[in-house]
Chain A
Amino acid sequence: MRPVAPNLVIGLALTGLVGAMALLGAFWTPYDPLAMNFASRLAPPSWSYWLGTDEFGRDQLSRLMLGASASVKISILTVILAISSGTIIGIVSGFLRGWPDRIIMSLNDALLAFPGLLFALGLLAVLGANENGIILSLGLVYMSSVVRVVRGTVLSLREREFVEASYVMGNSLSFTMRRHILPNCIAPLTVLATSMCGWTLLAESALSFLGLGVAPPMPTWGNMLAGSRSFLDQAVWLVIFPGLTISLALLGINLLGDALRDRLDPRMRRRVG
């Protein structure tokens, strides 16, 4: 039995912490995250307000918890959209080959010709800068990577004996895809989905920071950091805690992604062995 890698343990612990914070934040927070209290505006961290308060006297810990649920929800929905649509398109493209494959891959290459964040910004200009706009635009941007990975896997799998055997046994095309092709795509997709969670979390924070994401007063980590810029010299805690939370979440996902790649990517396994 292989020893458990430290990056897997730390990665799981950090992502678990962020997940728990997001889950708890959706149902309960120490204070009302949106309630203003001017008597305690810009209060430093204390026993009453563990992470201090903002310029409207709102509890920062409560806002970080609610922000976690918003950021995590957007990330998960984006990844689900990208993985599900990309998997279907990738399987169809790789299995049908011929002109459908050429058309799909030309369109996909057009998406990949843009830097990801640039295309997301272009789509946001069209779809509108809001939560749904972010999910749709980032989902579409990351879908192109999924299409490429799944199509590549399908192209290599469809020539293998076990797939041919499935046909010889009289199984239908859809059964063969579900039973033999799709399970073999799960390992590369798991690695990709983990990295994608990190990319989405970062992109969503960056877009919110630019003012193109979820609009205040609803908190996200990115718009909390953007709001703290005006109070850089008065309330350092407004800068420290949201940034620290994003960084720890990204660190957890990066470490988890590395650990999963080491375990699931056959090329890495060979190198490790």
Chain B
Amino acid sequence: MLRFALTRMAMAIPTLIMVGVTVFILVRVIPGDPASLMLGDAGDAAALAALRERLGIDKSLPQQFLIWAGLLLQGDMGTSIATGNPVLPTIIGRFLISVQVVVPAVILSTLVAVPMGMFAAWRQNKLGDIALVTSATLLMSVPTFWMGMLLLLLFGLKLGWLPIVGYVSFSESFKGAAFYLILPIFTLFLHEVGVILRMARASTLEVLGLDYITHARAKGLPERAVMWRHAFRNAFGPTWTLLGLILGNLLAGVAIIETVFTIPGLGRLLVDSIFARDYPVIQGCLLFIAGIYVLVNLMVDLLYPIFDPRVTAQ
């Protein structure tokens, strides 16, 4: 088990380095001086010279990368052109807001979609299965930005049950924060339920066709025991892996939901920085989200043996 964990963690290091190299190159391919790009129009000659010195612009590209990576490891992502604030604390503050939307949505949709997916597989090609798969396909086909606007229209404007747009932090008012987060969480929940349900159904169908399930049924075990004690753990593995990908993708795409509900999260910070050509923040957001994506998938892999101990033996 320890060997499996160490091997998997060691495998994440080259991926993180490749992510760093890609983000470094991405900003370097923009024509012009990277220091001028990083300072924007606001920088004077002295500030420009200081930044050129700090980034080692006169050195070779690999040396520049090592200097940049060194600063990064010390938590130094530079300062924002637009606000003058250090990049990393800004990103962390916005990330904590996005997490409040993304994580509850993924947890809720998993809790609802996995049993539904297993039920659909158990009732394959029966009415319940057809109804669930059709609903899942329909939900998957509705873009989150439209779903969010429809929910706003219904629960915010027509019924007046929930606030329309905005954000209140939990430190200001717990009830207010929860109220403002219900609709964005529910929007993501509806979309992800469809995706997870289809995956849970497909992996359960694979497992239900295996000999050990036939054997469990032949022993006379009740269906509930067959499904939960025997099928669930093996069927949940692929869905568990999918959850890591969904979490990462949602963090990258959360800008859409944050735009609909005017939430000042990490996605909105990235999009606003693209408009403002605030390259230090763009670079910081890309690195941060991609780094979280790699780490979330690492955690998913490390916890995978809970559902399928065979992976540690391989």
Contact = CB atoms under 8 A, between A and B. Distances in A.
Q: Do chains A and B stick together as partners? A: yes
Interface of A: 106, 109-111, 113-118, 121-126, 129, 202, 205-206, 209-212, 222, 225-226, 228-229, 232-233, 236, 239, 242-243, 246-248, 250-251, 254-255, 258, 271
Interface residues of B, number: 47
B143 A251 contact: no
A239 B153 contact: yes
A236 B256 contact: no
B19 A114 contact: yes
Q: Interface on chain B toward A: helix, strand, loop, or mixed SS?
A: helix
A126 B30 contact: yes
A255 B274 contact: no
**By CB atoms of chain B within 10 A, which of A110, A113, A243 has the most?**
A113
Given A115-B251, A251-B141, A129 B274 contact: yes
A125 B274 CA distance: 5
A110 B157 contact: no
Interface of B: 15, 18-19, 21-23, 26-27, 29-30, 137-138, 140-143, 145-146, 149-150, 152-153, 157, 205, 209, 248-249, 251-253, 255-256, 259-260, 270-271, 273-275, 277, 279, 282, 286, 289-290, 293-294
Contacts, number: 127
Given A113-B19, A202-B143, A233 B157 contact: yes
Contact of A122 (B26, B140, B209): B26
B22 A110 contact: yes
Nearest to B29: A126
A30 B251 CA distance: 41
Contacts of A233: 157
A106 to B, nearest CB: 7
Contact of B15 (A113, A206, A225): A113
B274 A123 contact: no
Given A124-B274, A254-B137, A210 B259 contact: yes
A130 to B, nearest CB: 12
Given A126-B26, A202-B143, A229-B149, A114 B290 contact: yes
In order of increasing CB-CB distance, the 3 nearest A-B pairs are A243-B146, A118-B252, A115-B252
Nearest to A244: B146
Contact of A232 (B152, B248, B294): B152
22 contacts: A110-B18, A113-B15, A113-B18, A114-B286, A114-B290, A114-B293, A115-B248, A118-B293, A122-B23, A122-B282, A125-B26, A206-B256, A210-B271, A225-B149, A229-B149, A232-B149, A236-B153, A239-B146, A243-B143, A243-B150, A250-B141, A250-B142
Contacts of A232: 149, 152-153, 157
